[in-house]
Amino acid sequence: MKKFLLTTTLFIFATVLFGQEQTTLILVRHAEKANDGTSNPPLSEAGFQRANNLAALLTAQDISALYSTPFTRTEATLTPIGRDKGIEVQQYDPYAKDEWLSSLIQKHRGETVVISGHSNTIPTLANALIGSETFSQFDENDYSNLIIIVTDEVGKGKLIRLKF
In this structure, which amino acid lies at residue 44?
A: S
Q: pLDDT for 71-87, tens place per residue?
A: 999 999 999 999 999 99
Q: Please answer whether residues 150 and 14 qualify as being in contact, where contact means their C-beta atoms are separated by less than 8 angstroms.
A: yes
- Its domain, for residue 51, covers 2-163
Looking at the structure of the chain, the number of domains it has is 1
pLDDT value of residue 14 = 52
Distance from C-alpha of 38 to C-alpha of 16, rounded to nearest angstrom: 45
For residue 97, the 8-state DSSP code is: H
pLDDT, one tens digit per residue, over 102-156 is 999 999 999 999 999 999 999 999 999 999 999 999 999 999 999 999 999 999 9
CATH number at residue 115: 3.40.50.1240
Q: What is the pLDDT of residues 54-67, one digit of tens each?
A: 999 999 999 999 99
Beta bridge partners of 102: none
**Which of 112, 119, 6, 11 has the alpha carbon at shortest distance from 64?**
112
Q: Which of 19-23, 33-37, 107-111, 139-143 has the lowest mean pLDDT?
A: 19-23
User: Beta partners for 67?
Assistant: 90, 115
Find residue 146's DSSP bridge partners.
28, 162
**E strand or H helix that includes residue 148:** strand 145-151
Secondary element (H or E) of residue 79: helix 72-85
